[in-house]
Every structure is written in structure tokens, then in C-alpha cells.
Amino acid sequence: MTIIEKTAVEQRQALLSKEIKAVELLDLTYEQIEKRDEEIGAYNSLTKEYAYETAKKVDEKIEKGEELPLMAGIPLALKDNMNMIGSYTTASSKILENYVSPYDATVVVKLKENLVPIVGKTNLDEFAMGSSNENSAFKIVRNPINTKKVPGGSSGGSAASVAAFEATVSLGSDTGGSIRLPASFCGLTGFKPTYGRVSRYGLIAFASSLDQIGPFGRCVEDAAALYQVIAGHDMHDSTSLDMPAGDILSSLKQDIKGLKVGVITDLMQEGVEEDVKKNVLNSIEVLKKAGATVKEVKMPTLKYAIGIYYVLATAEASSNLARFDGVRYGHRTKGAENLLEMYTKTRAEGFGDEVKRRIMLGTYALSSGYYDAYYKKAQQMRRLVKNEFDRVFKEVDVLVSPTCPTTAFDLGSRNDDPLAMYLTDIGTICANLAGIPALSTPVGFDREGMPVGLQIMTDVLKEDVLLRTAYNVELGLK
């Protein structure tokens, strides 16, 4: 195993013991990008100048014997919907194709403070709207394990970069499963924290009440360490929680004896592939052997989650994307004769089909005469989903289910059926609606050698329990 294939924990040890320099680790990472990314399509742009400046500072600190921040020197890929000063921040949309960030997102500020080399900006479904990473305006992303398959979306580039060893860790955003789904399809641990645990300042908004930034790693400990770096209160984000995230790593390796695990039967039924079910059931046995007690739980309101999500998310997208009109930044059409024509032509030229579809759905749901029937009703149903989670978490500590009913599907196989594509997120959407933390961790493979992900969910602010459970699953499957 080469150094770029190792975990962040192992790479950090190699840096501290001076087996390799941070600059050399970065050299190898960029060599791998040169070798593989033309085929994979994980990156939209690279940020070499900043990455090397940071790596040099890390090497200087090590030489002086100074204490090294937690993720210092570890190559990281950043989803291209997070602002980083001086970099292209496109959200994989033509409307922002040449937009250069004038400021840093809060997560980027934290990465810089911790001397994390940001390798580049990763490809995504346009404005994070998609489950396969085939909706990018620039190029599709391929799954590094099998390039005929999708990597999952919308954070497909972030997941593919780590799976292809083009970065050691990465950040994605998750609105309805956009971290967990690619993690499942690419064989990684991907983690969506409690809503408000990580600042959204500087993240290009899709659906503001659902969006959350989170980490990808090759193991649970990598994801936990990166979360610890980016979590915390931020004055720039009014939804940011004013409470410390705590020292997650110190409790990560504790046992789970007596932990109460609920298996969501509603997400283990029709449509779940046999290989997925088999691996998920095997991971549940691992939890039992580790001392957890397991019971089945029913959550009947989850069957409404897809409908609720696609009313609320599209309504918020319609509102958030109104700012892309050619006036202040981004693409502006040429030759428009009046303001209205400039608006309409700019948006028609700049947005892709999936984004247009969701803007139209959302605008309809918010329109006069339909607001009460759709948007208001969806908000009321969202409350019922949250109530159901509150009820279940009085009985169990964690919930488990397949991250996705299937493993990674073939490129192009669902492009003509938007509903089939939307149903890919059937297991993940509910965590965003409830604002609870959730992750996907790999628990095996199907008969084609594609990874299967186990989804674990806990009550709000219980990231320590979530990560500890995932760590024990990982340990038991080794």
C-alpha cells in the first residue's frame, strides 16, 4: 500500500515521524490526479499554489518540533459549492463558470487555520441537485471502483477524489443524502452532522433548511477528525448552534455494550437488493457481538419523506436561485434589449435541465393558490417526521438501515426517469428533514464488487454515539 492509499491517521503518523514530508505527500497526490482524473472527472479546478504554501508551513513546523494541528498536511478536496478566496467556485453550473470567490467559507477558514492543504475544487451535480453526479454542466464523474458506474451525488467528485486516492479526505454537502449516497457507492465513510453543527456560511445554498457540510474519509476515525476541525459556532451563520462540538476522538474507541439499536423495517422492505440486505444484516450481527441490543422499529411516516422533501427542497431552491440573474455576478446573456429579457435569457442559458425542473416545481409549490396545498402541508408533514424520530429515540440510541436500496448503478441508466433517480434517496432524505446526524459506512460488497453502505442515525447532537457505533462496526468487520 502506497502512502497516498493510507488513511489520514496513518499519513499524520508518517509526517510526524518524518517518513515523508507534507510537500512530498502533495506531490504524490497531484501525480495521482494527473494519472487518473481525466477518466474519473473528480475535479473542476486545482488550487496548487495554496496547497503547496500550506504543505511547506507544515514541514517547517515539524522541523521546528512545534505542535501540529489535527489534520495538518493531509491533502483535502473541497466540493465546488464552497467559497475559497481566489478560486473558481462554480457549483458545476454554467451560470457561475468563471466566478472567482472574493471570500472564504467558514469551513475553509477552519481548514486554513489547521494547515490543511486544499488540493482543488471537486465536481458535483449542478447546484448539488442530483443523485448520480451526471448533472454537472462540465463533465460527469465516474466511480473509481468501476468507471461504468455512477459515484453517487451530489458530492460525487468529493467521494471519487478520495476513492481514487486523489485526496485523502474531502468535504461535501448533504441536502438529502449527497454525502452519504456517494460514500455508500464509493466505499467510504461519509457523515452529515446535526443541522447547525457546521457553519453553512460560504456554502452556495440549495435548500437552506436542509443543507449541511460534512466530511468523507477512508475510515471512521478520518471522518471524525475532519469533523472536529470544521465543527463549531459561527457568528456569520444564524442557524449555527452556539455550543461546542466536544472532543469526538477521545470517545470514539469506547465499546458499545448496552447500546440500543433500532432497525428501520420500513427501509428494509421491497426494492432493497438482496446483496445490500445481506451485508446490512451482517453488520447488525456485528453490533450484537459488540454488546448492542437490537430491535425492529416501524416508522410509517417515512414513506412520505420523498414527497415532503421534493416540495420543500424545490421551494427553497426556487427562492435561493433567484439571485442568479446576471445582474451582480456570474453569467450574463449578450444582446438583451431590456431587463426582463436579460433575466430570462441569462437563466435559460446558465441553468441545466435538472435545475430548471426543480426551480419550476418549487415556484409552483410557492405560487398563490397552491402554497397551502403543497408548501404548508409539506411543512406540517415534516413536523410529523421529526415527531416520529423523537418518539423512536426514546426507545433506542441509534437507528440503522441501508444507505441506499441498491449499489452504484450504471451511468445513464436513470437519466430518462427523474422519479427513479429521486427514489435513490429514499433512505437518506429523512435525516435532513429531521435535522439529525447520519452517516454511511462501508459494510461489504455486492456480487459485482461494488460497495454496500450501512446508514446509522442518532438523535440531534449525538455525533459521539453515531461515530462510536460506526467505529465498532468497522472494527468488527475487519
Q: How many CB atoms lie within 10 A of CB 323?
A: 12
Set 178, 283, 318, 401: catalytic member? 178
Task: Classify burial at 340, counting beta carbons within 10 Å of its beta carbon; exposed 0-12, middle 13-18, buried 19 or more.
Answer: exposed
CA distances from 377 to 380, 431, 434 (A): 5, 19, 16
Could you give phi then psi for residue 243, rounded to 5 degrees? -155, 145
Q: Is 79 a catalytic residue?
A: yes
Q: Report how far Cα 396 is from the mean position of its chain's Cα atoms.
A: 25
Set 79, 110, 149, 192: catalytic member? 79
Set 87, 93, 136, 154: catalytic member? 154
Asked if 275 and 407 touch (Cβ cutoff 8 Å), the reply is yes
Taking the C-alpha atoms of residue 336 and residue 354, their distance in angstroms, rounded to an integer, is 25
β partners of residue 120 = 46, 77
Asked if 288 and 181 touch (Cβ cutoff 8 Å), the reply is no
Asked if 446 and 276 touch (Cβ cutoff 8 Å), the reply is yes
Listed in sequence order, the residues at least 6 apart from 172 whose beta carbon sits closer than 8 Å to its beta carbon are 79, 154, 155, 158, 159, 178, 179, 182, 190, 213, 214, 215, 216
Q: Is 154 a catalytic residue?
A: yes
Annotated catalytic residues are 79, 154, 178
